[in-house]
Amino acid sequence: MTFKKIFFTIILLLLFGFSFSRPASAGAVSNPASIRFAVIGDFGRAGAPENAVANLVKSWIPDFIVTAGDNNYYSGGASTIDANIGQYYHDYIYPYTGAYGAGASVNRFFPALGNHDWVVPNNGPAHVAPYLAYFTLPGNERYYDFVQGPVHFFILDSDPHEPDGTDTFSTQALWLRNKLSASASPWQVVVAHHAPYSSATHGSNPDLQWDYQGWGADAVISGHDHTYERVMVNGLPYFVNGLGGYSIYSFNTPIAGSAVRYNANYGAMLVTATDAQVNFQFWSLSGPSKIDEYILQKTVFSDVAADFWAWAWIERLYNAGITSGCASAPLRYCPNSSVTRAEMAVFLLKSIHGTTYIPPTAGGTTFGDVASSHWAAAWIEQLAVEGITSGCGGGNFCPESNVTRAQMAVFLLKSIHGTGYVPPAASGVFSDVPTSHWAAKWIEQLASEGITSGCGGGNYCPESNVTRAEMAVFLVRAFNLP
């Protein structure tokens, strides 16, 4: 069967420039809510380094393995492919017909083509017949996609011999763009051998600097340079993972965005993914030791990145149903905008009574500057009914004025303890809040209850406006929101 498959594939390649395709389900594995997979690159030369990396990878007990190419040095031949790949990873390959033991019951090995996987004869066209005969992969097998758990993988063929092209206007690029657009998975990961961005020997490949981010990718993994590097380009992580066992390259001058570089020993990537996050790690054989860790997290609001200082608090406020943001399409939170007194009324009452609470209809007579037609009139009047506010003076509420951090201390503690609550006398906890400050005891009690630690440097910044980010922290802490 193996001989027939090789013969048939070669005939198709040489005579028609065509490779048969398999349904997208070929090689599919189960799709649990969380997955754990390894990524190896530039590994395929039988020997001690590849064996050591393979043992490291297997110690992780990954669900499956993805490769970044150059699986079969030096020239992609049929005579070397089993020794270079199957010898170490046969128990992840299905169907496996090689000489090194039993294969997997379902395919758990997903390679990308590298330049050393292409057979380039002196006479005749370049081809990948041994590769196509050895693996059973989805699609046309040169480039393909598959879904595993929360991740949709897109495996590209970045070699110049690829008949469907490798530039941004190629048939292959159009395929990727359409596939990314149609993907319904939480995460999209692109894998290609040649690195779009790299600081090492081969360097960056401009032809492969496609608009991955604009098309919907969350990360790009490559190899070709025998190093490990993480390059951040407009917030999108590009990983170079080429220390799988063949050789080690040196670095040139770091390119813009290069965040982590390593070439002291061989290693591999360990990646875990859930619907909420993907954790990328690179582990060196030295130790072994973790060289890099990068975590992608899903964010609700387009203007609140996962590394924003108040991200977790804002997400909790959203999940608790207290806020739906400040704008839609895309959904935004406006974390650095100041909170008005009208907005504060809504935030507080929802936190007190729950997300389904609707206050009574406004009469428009409680405050002189809050007509019944005001968007927050019902909320403002109910805040007064519950004794949390008496307004800003002169019979007014000042709904469009920003609420200060000093005022917020009073509003929060009255909301928690009731309108008759009076905090203990102030002792001078914050450098910028003397005991004579009108809100000193409220501010210090807020700190005593763990709702605030100040604004930094031993200060509270009582006259600063409360931002929407700060409001999220205040509310989540004060009302113990989930």
- Exposure string of 63-74, with b = 16+ CB inside 10 Å and e = fewer, is bbbbbbbbbbbe
The average confidence (pLDDT) of the chain is 93
Q: For residues 86 and 97, what is the distance between their CA atoms, to the nearest angstrom?
A: 9
Share of the chain above pLDDT 90, in %: 90
Q: Is the pLDDT of residue 201 over 70?
A: yes
Q: By C-alpha distance, which of 152, 166, 124 is closest to 31?
A: 152
Q: Is the pLDDT of residue 223 over 80?
A: yes
Q: For residues 274 and 280, what is the distance between their CA atoms, to the nearest angstrom?
A: 12
Both tokens of 413, joined, read 């503690």
Cα dist. 43→48, 137, 160, 328, 452 in Å? 11, 19, 20, 46, 52
Band of residue 11 on the pLDDT scale cut at 50, 70, 90 = very low
Task: Read off the pLDDT of residues 23-45 as tens digits, 9 standing for 90 and up.
Answer: 333 444 456 789 999 999 999 99
Q: For residues 399 and 453, what is the distance between their CA atoms, to the nearest angstrom?
A: 27
18/73: higher pLDDT: 73
- Cβ–Cβ < 8 Å for 262, 227: yes
DSSP for 318-355 reads HHTTS---SBTTTTB--TTSBPBHHHHHHHHHHHHH-T
The pTM is what? 0.72
- Residue 31: per-residue pLDDT: 60
Residue ranges of domains in the chain, CATH in brackets: 2-297 (3.60.21.10), 311-479 (no CATH)
Q: Is the pLDDT of residue 9 over 60?
A: no
Share of the chain above pLDDT 70, in %: 94
Task: Read off the pLDDT of residues 87-144 as tens digits, 9 standing for 90 and up.
Answer: 999 999 999 999 999 999 999 999 999 999 999 999 899 999 999 999 999 999 999 9
* Beta strands, E only, 89-207: 109-110, 144-148, 151-155, 187-191
Band of residue 431 on the pLDDT scale cut at 50, 70, 90 = very high
Task: Read off the pLDDT of residues 337-369 as tens digits, 9 standing for 90 and up.
Answer: 999 999 999 999 999 999 999 999 999 999 999
- Residue 105: per-residue pLDDT: 97
Q: Which helix (H) or strand (E) holds 179?
A: helix 171-182
